[in-house]
Amino acid sequence: MLARINRPASGVKLEQIISGVKGIPGVIIQTVFVDGEVTNTRGEPFETWLSALAGIKPAGQRASL
């Protein structure tokens, strides 16, 4: 899903990003949800993101549709 939405540089993995964010004290997460041909609003992508947030334990979070 990361590659379909964000097109990261070669070799960048979502797991690496999440691991790095966990080490930032007081981090605030902003999430953009998309729904269409590619979606992260339901199913496995949404559940994976909720699990990631639980592991990150952000000080705050914001979501946009």
pTM: 0.73
- Give the C-alpha distances (Å, rounded to integers) separating 9 from 13, 37, 43, 65: 9, 22, 26, 25
Domain boundaries, given as residue ranges, for the chain: 2-64
List the pLDDT tens digit at each of the 65 positions of the chain: 555 666 667 888 888 989 999 999 999 999 888 898 888 899 988 998 899 999 999 999 888 87
